[in-house]
Structure 1
Amino acid sequence: MLQGDLFGHVCAPAVPQGFDYWPDVLSEAEQTKLVEQLQRLDFRPYEHMGYQGFRRIAAFGRRYDLERRRLETAEPWPDFLKALLACLAGRLSLDEGAFVQALVNEYAPGAGIGWHRDRPVYEDIVGVSLLAPCVMRLRRKQAAQWRRAGAALEPGSVYRLSGEAREAWEHSIPAMTALRYSITFRTLAGGAN
């Protein structure tokens, strides 16, 4: 049964179908080494339709150009991100060859990401959380109300959005109180190139 909160929002007791979560995938030593490599990347401010966000990003492989509304080639994947994806593919039974994009987000204190669904050119999304924990908020419109859920993302954990969680639910990250990195790997939807 779904229960309403004080503001009339419908709260889901569990995450939606298609949200998978694996805690403690990366050891503390693996996380430390990975963060050291991330801190050497050339980050740029995130921009969306003329708005500059607080978080900074580094994109590799493919990226979606909002102005041109198409996929474009980005910088080649650094070797350490290729190695990370290979490690995750082995540990979590993922199809390593299907992933075409790696996006690194740097969330300084005060940075978050608003409600959104990833662009339809992408299909499955796999994310790695580093340094600070956060809550991924999830919501789906149902009639005049929102169905809501939340998932704690701990450092060293991995999540996947696919199917219903990817296509029908929006997600967001509230403003961080401590530095956090996330690495997002994406596959392409059928027909996208």
Structure 2
Amino acid sequence: MGLPRFTCPKRRADESSPHLYVANCGPAVGLSYEKIASVFGTYGDVKGVYAADESGTRVIVSFQEKGSAQSALKELNGKPCSSLGGRSLHIQYSVQSHDKINTSQSVPVSTSASELNIPGLFLIHDFITAKEEEELLSAVDCRPWKHLAKRRVQHYGYEFCYDIRNVNTSQFLGELPDFVSPILERIRSLQTLDGAVDVYLNQLTARNYVNEYPPGVGLSPHIDTHSAFEGSIFSLSLTGPCIMEFRKYTTSTWQGKPASSEDNEDHLDFVRKSIYLPPRSILLLSGESRYAWHHYIPHHKVDKVKDSLIRRGRRRVSFTLRKVRKGPCQCEFPQYCDSQE
């Protein structure tokens, strides 16, 4: 089962709710979910702390008992909290929603890259074993995660800066960690991809979508910045399945920045295709699929794959391996290229 979903009603919910909506609080302001749970736990048993939205500055604190929520709101609302860095919290009651799962999808989900017919796109199932998956998860969990609004990340080789969607090539973080060496060796052995594989990959971003974020949280449509990375991009999926959707916008509607959410997608003209990424699979983006197609993870909690319904896991980790570009991009898709704008 996925995590519960909460709403903050336009009018204040009555005091029978054990759930609190807390603003000015979250990883984006330097407060971990563990720390928030610890502070609110002084008022009663906390069932969980969840992201209220994608901002990283608002959370839902869910208590076992409504009396605990009442006490916490009374003591913490509108007052500086020394245990949370002196921040003044803005709190009101929240209610748990029981939305029906919408399993209808406007685009069919494929289970193989060949079904999509997107040039340069490959998907290899069971790229690693279950034991190797466990070892990789253990390796990254021993290292510190950096908190972002939607996920937690680790960067190796070079840090990817999300505010500018690029890397600083002058700041080398060191060689890639030893735990990805078997993956790199296996990638180099993929001769069946007709030369689409970069032999030298020097940047790794590990993303951790964990149970402190609702399973419906995904990624917005984007193309990995052309000037940041060259050649092929590999994405290894660990421990949780998901759907990845690809979009190719027409030249007439493309203006550099397409819709960042599904709310205004009707105003743009694009082709949509989706693929199912099972755990332990690796996805390769090269050529047209890398340079001209936007990719993203839809904000679903349940995905319909063929005739099956698959619920998003409580955790998904992805390893994205890339090669940092040292000069401007000279690809064949200038309308999508920041180097050739």
Q: TM-score, normalised by structure 1?
A: 0.79
> Partner residue of 2:280?
156
Q: Find 1:183's aligned residue among 314, 319, 330.
A: 319
* Superposed displacement of residue 138, structure 1: 0.6
How far did 1:99 drift?
0.7
Contact in 2 for aligned 1:55/1:107 (Cα 8 Å): yes
Match of 1:119 in 2: 225
Could you report, residue by residue, the CA deviation over 1:107-143 in whole angstroms, capped at 9, with x for unpaired residues?
1242421111112121220110000110111101124
Once the two structures are superposed, residues 132-176 of structure 1 have per-residue CA deviations (whole angstroms, 9 ceiling, x without a partner) of 110111101124511011111111101111111111111111345
Question: Contact 2:210/2:314 (CA < 8 Å) preserved in 1?
Answer: yes
Amino acid at match of 2:159: R
Tell me the residue number matched to 1:49. Answer: none
Q: What CA distance in whole angstroms lies between the structure 2 residues aligned with 1:95 and 1:82?
A: 15
Aligned-pair CA distance for 1:82: 2.6
Q: Which residue of 1 aligns with 2:293?
A: 169
Q: 1:59 aligns with which of 155, 163, 167?
A: 155
Aligned partner of 1:133 in structure 2 is: 241
Q: How does 1:1-193 map to 2 (within 5 A)?
A: 14-46=116-148, 53-65=149-161, 66=163, 70-71=168-169, 72-90=171-189, 92-93=190-191, 94-96=197-199, 98-109=200-211, 110=214, 111-120=217-226, 121-123=228-230, 124-142=232-250, 143=252, 144-175=268-299, 177-189=313-325, 191=327
Q: Aligned partners of 2:131 and 2:121: how far apart in 1?
A: 27
After superposing the two structures, state which structure 1 stretch, 54-63 or 73-82, moved more: 73-82
Secondary structure of the corresponding residue to residue 134 of structure 2: helix
Equivalent position of 2:30 in the other structure:
none
Q: Post-superposition shift, 1:190?
A: 6.5
Distance in 2, matches of 1:68 and 1:24, equals 30
Length, aligned pairs only: 178
**1:20: how far off?**
0.7
Once the two structures are TM-superposed, the CA of residue 31 in structure 1 deviates from its matched residue by 1.1
Question: Measured at CA, do residues 189 and 68 of structure 1 come closer, stay the same or move farther in structure 2, by a change above 3 Å?
Answer: closer
Offset, 1:63: 2.6
Higher strand share: 1
Does the CA contact (< 8 Å) of 2:241 and 2:313 recur in 1?
A: no
Are the aligned partners of 1:126 and 1:161 in contact in 2 as well (CA < 8 Å)?
yes
Distance (Å, rounded) in 2 between the aligned partners of 1:161 and 1:68: 18
Q: Is the 8 A contact 2:205 2:321 kept in 1?
A: yes
Structure with the bigger RCO (C-alpha within 8 Å, sep 6+) is: 1
Q: Identify if the C-alpha distance between structure 1 residues 41 and 32 changes in structure 2 by more than 3 Å, giving closer, same or farther.
A: same
Distance in 2 between residues matched to 1:84 and 1:44, nearest whole Å: 23
Q: Which moved more, 1:14-23 or 1:124-133?
A: 14-23
Corresponding letter in the other structure for 1:161: L
- Over the aligned positions, Cα root-mean-square deviation in angstroms equals 2.8
Whole-Å separation in 2 of the counterparts to 1:34 and 1:126: 16
C-alpha deviation, 1:73, in angstroms: 2.0
Distance 1:44 1:148, change over 3 A: same
Q: Would the alpha carbon gap of residues 107 and 68 (structure 1) be closer, same or farther in structure 2, given more than 3 Å must change?
A: closer
Percent identical pairs in the alignment equals 26
Check the 8 A contact 1:81/1:102 in 2, yes or no.
Answer: no
Shift of 1:177: 4.5
**Cα offset, 1:87, TM superposition:** 3.0
**Post-superposition offset of 1:178:** 2.0
Report the secondary structure of 2:150's partner residue.
strand
SS in 2 for 1:135: strand
Alignment gaps of 5+ in structure 2: 1-104, 192-196, 253-267, 300-311, 329-341
